[in-house]
Each structure stands twice: as structure tokens, then as C-alpha cells.
Amino acid sequence: MIFTAPKIIAGIISTIWAFTTFLSVARTLPEADSSIIPAAYYEAVLPASTTVAPTTTITTIATCDDALQLALDLGFPADQLGTLDMVMYRESRCQTTAHNESDPNGGSYGLTQINGFWCLPNSNWPIGWLQEKGILEECSDLFNATIALRSTLAIYNNSEWAPWATAK
């Protein structure tokens, strides 16, 4: 194999880019209070109900990287951020307002396209699984980035990535 200057430079740039990407994903909030969301995030509103955790919520994000940082801030395992990134991009292109009305059970909502199964009343969960967990009040709350990622984390903790049919 012949190494030329352009190939060597491209290799160095790729290595630097990969390392800085790794460092940006590896950041976490201080352990003192993981419920505090950095002020650098966008529009914030307080939840309208006491059934939702009384913390600041982010309604919109600008990029997939913003969503990954928010997920990390909310307690998502750092070793799962790669899969979360793939799921968010595949399901919604990281758009908080994504809604697939043609999916069964009332459609799929938000960043990770959470199916209505998780937020609609059923025989096992009369008010809905996510409502029972105190994460949201109705499926449309999944258009809020913070609520969507909290819901994704709860579903992940319950079922890992099975609802999103990801490869192991």
C-alpha cells in the first residue's frame, strides 16, 4: 500500500474528528444534581400538571447532537448513545414534531417515534403505560424533546431496544 501525503492528512483529520466526537458524547452533568438541564438549551417550559416530573423541559432541539446531549443529561447510559443516535435519525431525522399517523395504535410520535401503544389506555394500563409512570399526560406530549427522551429511557429500561427493532 502506498501512503501519499493526502492519504496521511485525511487519516489524521479523521482520527482527530473521531476523537473529538467521542469526547463530546462522553460529557456528563455533575453528579450533584442530574435533573438540572444546562441553560444553553433552547425554549424551556414548566409542565402543566403535577403528574409530570416538576423539572424544566426542552420542547425543541436544533440537531441530533443536541438531542444526544439532552439524553445524556437526562440519565441515558453513555454506552447506548450510539444506538439512540441511530434510532432518532432513522425514526424522525431528529425532528421533535415527527408524527407517523399510519402506524398502528394511534401512530408514532416524536424523536424516537414512540408508538401510541405506550401512551394510550389498554387492558393492562387503564390510563396508558407512560401516564402510569408519571412521564406524560397524553401522546402529543411526546413532541416535547425532554418528555420524548424521558419516555424513550423508560421504555429502554423496560424493554431495551426491542420496540425499535435495532440490531444487537
Domains of the chain: 5-164 (1.10.530.10)
**pTM (two decimals):** 0.66
pLDDT digit string, tens, across residues 59-96: 778 899 999 999 999 999 999 999 999 999 999 999 99
Gap between the Cα atoms of 146 and 69, Å rounded? 11
17-26, 80-89, 117-126: segment of lowest average pLDDT:
17-26
What does the block give as the cell for 141? Answer: 406530549
Gap between the Cα atoms of 7 and 43, Å rounded? 43
Gap between the Cα atoms of 135 and 149, Å rounded? 10
For the cut 80, the answer to whether the pLDDT of residue 34 exceeds it is no
Question: Where does 4-144 have alpha helices with state H?
Answer: 5-26, 64-73, 81-92, 129-132
